[in-house]
Structure 1
Amino acid sequence: MKAFHTIAIPHKDILEGRLTLEVFAADLHEVSLNKGSDEYRDSKIFFEKTYLTNGLQNLLSVVERRITGKGGDPVIQLQTPFGGGKTHSLIALYHKANEWKANKVVIVGEKIEATDSLWGLIEKQLTGKITKFKDKHAPGGEALKELLSAHQPLVILMDEVLQYITRAAAVKVEASNLAAQSIAFMQALTETISQIPNSVLLLSLPSSVPEHYDENAERLYHQLQKVSGRLEKIYTPVEDSEITKIIRRRLFASVDEKEAEKVVKSYVDYLEKENLLPNNVQPSEYRDQFLASYPFIPDVIDVLYKRWGTFPHFQRTRGVLRLLAQVIASLKTSTKSYITLADFDLSNQEIRQELLKHIESAFNGVIASDITDTNSGSAKVNTKLGNAYQGLSLGTRTATAIFMFSHSGGPIKGATVPEIKRSAAPLDIVSAVIDSVFDQLEQELFFIQKFNDKYFFSNMPNINKILLTYMENIKDADVEAYELELLKQKSKSQYFKVYIWEEKSNNVADDDNLKLVIIKNENRELIKEIIKKKGASLRTKSNTVFVLYPSDLDKGNFIHQIKRKLAYENILSAPNLNLSNDQKKDVKKELDKIDSNIFESLRKYYRLVAIPSKDDYKILDLGVPTYGDNKTLSDEVYEKLLAEKEILEKLSPNVIKVQFLKDNDYISTESIYTSCLTVPGFFRISSRRVLENAIEQGVREGLFGIGVLEGNSPICKHYKNGTTVYFDSNEIIIKDSICIEQLKKHEEIVTTEPSPKTDASEEITQKKGGTVGVNGHTQGTSYEQLSLNFEIPKGKVSSLMGLLNFLQSKYEHLQIDIKASDGKLTEEEYNTKIIEALRQGGVDLK
Structure 2
Amino acid sequence: MSLKPWREIAIPHEDVLKGTFQQAEFAADISKVHQGTATLEYQDAALFFQRTFITEGMRLLLDSVVKRLAGKGGDPVVQLQTAFGGGKTHTLLAVYHLAQGVTAASKMQGISPILDAAGITELPKARVAVLDGVELLDLASKPRVYGKTTVKTVWGELAWQLGGESAFAKVAEADRDGTAPGKTVLAEIIADSAPCIILMDELVRYVSQFEEGKTLSGGTYDTQLSFIQSLTEALKGVPNAILLASLPYSDREAGSQQGIKALRALEHYFGRVQALWKPVATEEAFEIVRRRLFETVSNRLAAEEVCRAYADYYAANSSDLPPETQESNYLERLKHSYPIHPEVFDRLYEDWSTLPNFQRTRGVLKLMAKVIHRLWTTGNNELMIQPGSLPLFDSDTRNEAIYYLEQGWDPVLDRDIDGERAATTELDNARPLFGSIHACRRIARSVFLGSAPDAGAVGGAKHHRGIELERLLLGCVQPGQVIGHYKDGVRAMVDKLQYLNSANNRYWFDTRPNLRREMEDRKRRFDLREDVYPFIKDKLRFASGVFGGVHVFTPSSDVPDDWQLRLVVLPPEATFSKGAQSPAIDAATAILKSRGEQPRQKQNRLIFLAPDTDSIARLKDQVTSSLAWKSIVDDVKEGRLNLDGLQTKQASASLDQANEALGRMVRETFKWLLAPLQEAKPGKGIGEIQWDHFLINPAAVNRTEEIEKVLKEHELLITEWAPIHLAKMLQTWFWKDDATAVGALETWQKTCCYLYLPRLREADTLRATIAAGVSSRDFYGIAYGREGSRFQGFHFAQSTTPILDDALLLIEPKAASSFAATLAQEAADREAEAKGKENPASSTAGGSKAESTGGASSTTTGAGSAGTGSSSGSGKSGSAATVAKKTVFFGSVELDARKAKLQFSEVADEVIMLFAQNPNVKLRVSVEVEAELPSGFDDGVQRSVRENCNQLKFKNHDFD
TM-score after normalising by structure 2: 0.69
Number of corresponding residues: 801
Name the structure 2 match of 1:804. Answer: 908
- The 5 A counterparts of 1:406-485 are 406=451, 409-411=460-462, 424-427=476-479, 429=480, 433-444=482-493, 446=497, 457-459=509-511, 468=520, 471-476=523-528, 477-485=530-538
Structure 2 residue aligned with 1:308 = 352
Q: 1:84 Cα deviation (Å)?
A: 1.0
| Residue of structure 2 equivalent to 1:718 | 794
- Residue deviations 1:381-440 (CA, integer Å, cap 9, x gap): 7668888x985545544554454344555227766666556554444x2x6x11332232
1:727 equivalenced with 2:805 (yes/no):
yes
Could you tell me which amino acid in structure 1 is paired with residue 617 of structure 2?
A: G
Letter in 2 for 1:623: F
Residue aligning to 2:122: none
- Structure having the higher Rg: 2
- 1:779 and 1:584 map into 2 onto residues whose CA distance is 98
The answer to whether residue 189 in structure 2 is matched with residue 149 in structure 1 is yes
Equivalent residue of 2:264, what SS?
Answer: helix
Q: Distance in 1 between matches of 2:44 and 2:198?
A: 20
Q: 1:68-79 to 2 correspondence within 5 Å?
A: 73-79=75-81
Distance 2:539 2:560 in 1: 24
**Contact 2:86-2:280 within 8 A present in 1 as well:** yes
Write out per-residue CA displacement over residues 540-566 of structure 1, whole angstroms, 9 at most, x where no aligned residue: 656555665555454223323433433
* Secondary structure class of the residue paired with 1:490: coil
Within 1, Cα distance between the matches of 2:59 and 2:898? 128
CA shift for structure 1 position 822 = 1.9
Paired AA for residue 785 in structure 2 = V
Partner of 1:229: 271
Give the Å deviation of 1:26: 0.8
Contact 1:117-1:182 at 8 Å conserved across structures:
no
- Equivalences for 1:541-620 in 2 at 5 Å? 544=605, 550=611, 552-570=613-631, 572-573=633-634, 575=636, 576-578=642-644, 580=646, 583=650, 587=654, 590-591=657-658, 593-594=660-661, 596-601=663-668, 603-604=670-671, 607-608=673-674, 618=689, 620=691
Q: Contact 1:59 / 1:235 at 8 angstroms: preserved in 2?
A: yes
Structure-1 separation of matches of 2:222 and 2:334: 46
CA 571–676 in structure 1, closer or farther in 2 if over 3 Å, else same:
same
Question: Given that residues 24 and 322 in structure 1 are in contact (C-alpha distance below 8 angstroms), is that contact kept between their aligned partners in structure 2?
Answer: yes
Secondary structure at the aligned position of 1:819 is classed as: coil
The superposition leaves residues 288-312 of structure 1 with CA deviations (integer Å, 9 ceiling, x where unpaired) of 4444444444444443333333333
Distance 1:285 1:706, change over 3 A: closer
User: 1: CA distance between counterparts of 2:244 and 2:200?
Assistant: 6
Distance 1:372-1:825 versus aligned 2 partners, 3 A rule: farther
The one-character-per-residue Cα deviations of 1:490-510 (angstroms, maximum 9, x if unpaired) are 3646632444444362x5555
The residue that corresponds to 2:106 in the other structure is none
**Residue 781 (structure 2) pairs with residue 704 (structure 1):** yes
Shift in alpha-carbon separation, 1:103–1:832, aligned structure 2, 3 A: same
Partner of 1:355: 401
Task: Determine the structure 1 residue equivalent to 2:30.
Answer: 28
Distance 1:178 1:675 in 2: 118
CA contact (8 A) 2:28 2:90 kept: yes
Contact 1:89 1:237 in 2 (8 A): no
1:624 aligns with 2:695: yes
Aligned pairs for 1:188-227 (under 5 A) are 188-195=227-234, 197=237, 201-210=243-252, 213=255, 217-227=259-269
In structure 2, the CA distance between the partners of 1:460 and 1:579, relative to structure 1 (3 Å rule), is farther
Residue 803 and residue 322 in structure 1: after superposition, are their counterparts in 2 closer, same or farther (change >3 A)?
Answer: same
1:739 to 815, 819, 827: 819
Q: Is the 8 A contact 1:444 1:464 kept in 2?
A: no
Q: Match of 2:52? A: 50
Q: Which amino acid aligns with 1:587?
A: S
1:185 paired residue number? 224
For the residue of structure 2 that corresponds to 1:746, the secondary structure is: helix
**CA displacement, residues 228-272 of structure 1 (integer Å, 9 cap, x when unaligned):** 434444534645554344344434454568537743773476257
Note if 1:372 corresponds to 2:418: yes
- Give 1:81 shift: 0.8
**What do you get for the CA RMSD once the two structures are aligned?**
5.2
**Structure 1 counterpart SS, 2:694:** coil
2:87 aligned with 1:85, yes or no? Answer: yes
Cα distance in structure 1, aligned partners of 2:4 and 2:775: 88
- The answer as to whether partners of 1:541 and 1:677 remain within 8 angstroms in 2 is yes
Displacement of 1:595? 5.9
The one of 312, 320, 333 aligned to 2:364: 320
Q: Distance in 1 between matches of 2:732 and 2:388?
A: 75
CA–CA distance in structure 1, aligned partners of residues 601 and 301 of structure 2: 88
Deviations 1:198-219 (A, max 9, x none): 5654332111111794555434
Q: Mapping of 1:623-772 within 5 angstroms?
A: 623-631=694-702, 633=704, 645=715, 647-649=717-719, 652=723, 653-654=726-727, 655-663=729-737, 664-668=739-743, 671-672=746-747, 675-676=750-751, 681-695=756-770, 699-702=774-777, 703-710=780-787, 714-720=790-796, 721=798, 722=800, 724-725=802-803, 727-728=805-806, 735-736=815-816, 739-740=819-820, 742-743=822-823, 746-747=826-827
Distance 1:450 1:675, change over 3 A: closer
Q: Which moved more, 1:254-263 or 1:318-327?
A: 254-263
537, 547, 570: which one aligns with 1:495: 547
Amino acid at match of 2:805: F
State percent identity of aligned pairs.
22
Following TM superposition, by how much is the alpha carbon of 1:194 offset from its aligned partner in structure 2, in angstroms? 1.9
- On the 8 A contact 2:283/2:336 being kept in 1, the answer is no
Measured in 2, the distance between the counterparts of 1:65 and 1:732 equals 121
TM-superposed CA distance for 1:37, in Å, is: 1.2
Kindly indicate whether residue 894 of structure 2 is the aligned counterpart of residue 791 of structure 1.
yes
* Structure 1 position 346 matched with structure 2 position 395: no
Aligned to 1:235, the other structure's residue is in SS state: coil
Amino acid at match of 1:149: I
Q: Residue 375 and residue 40 in structure 1: after superposition, are their counterparts in 2 closer, same or farther (change >3 A)?
A: same
- Rounded to whole Å, the distance in 2 between the matches of 1:311 and 1:156 is 32
- Counterpart of 1:160 in structure 2 is 202
Compared CA separation, residues 236 and 658, structure 1 to 2 (3 A): closer
Select 1:108's aligned residue among 128, 133, 143. Answer: 133
Distance 1:216 1:623 in 2: 81
Comparing 559-568 and 817-826, the one that deviates more: 817-826
Q: Which amino acid aligns with 1:727?
A: D
1:120 aligns with 2:139: no
SS in 2 for 1:623: strand
Return the alpha-carbon distance in structure 2 between the equivalents of residues 779 and 697 of structure 1: 48
Amino acid in the other structure paired with 1:102: R
* Shift, 1:274, TM fit: 2.5
8 Å CA contact retained: 2:781, 2:794: no
Q: Give the TM-score, by structure 1 length.
A: 0.77
Tell whether the 8 Å contact from 2:781 to 2:810 is kept in structure 1 after alignment. Answer: no
- 1:560 maps to a residue whose letter is D
Distance 1:601 1:782 in 2: 76
Taking a change above 3 Å as real, the CA distance of residues 37 and 729 of structure 1, as seen in their structure-2 partners, is: same
Gap runs ≥5 in structure 2:
102-124, 144-151, 454-459, 575-582, 637-641, 681-685, 834-882, 918-922, 955-960
With 389-398 and 77-86 compared, the bigger mean Cα shift is at 389-398
Equivalent-residue separation in structure 2 for 1:123 and 1:490 (angstroms): 96
Q: Give the Cα separation in 2 of the matches to 1:622 and 1:831.
A: 49
Which residue is equivalent to 1:404? 449
- Give the distance between the partners of 2:508 and 2:40, measured in 1 at CA: 40
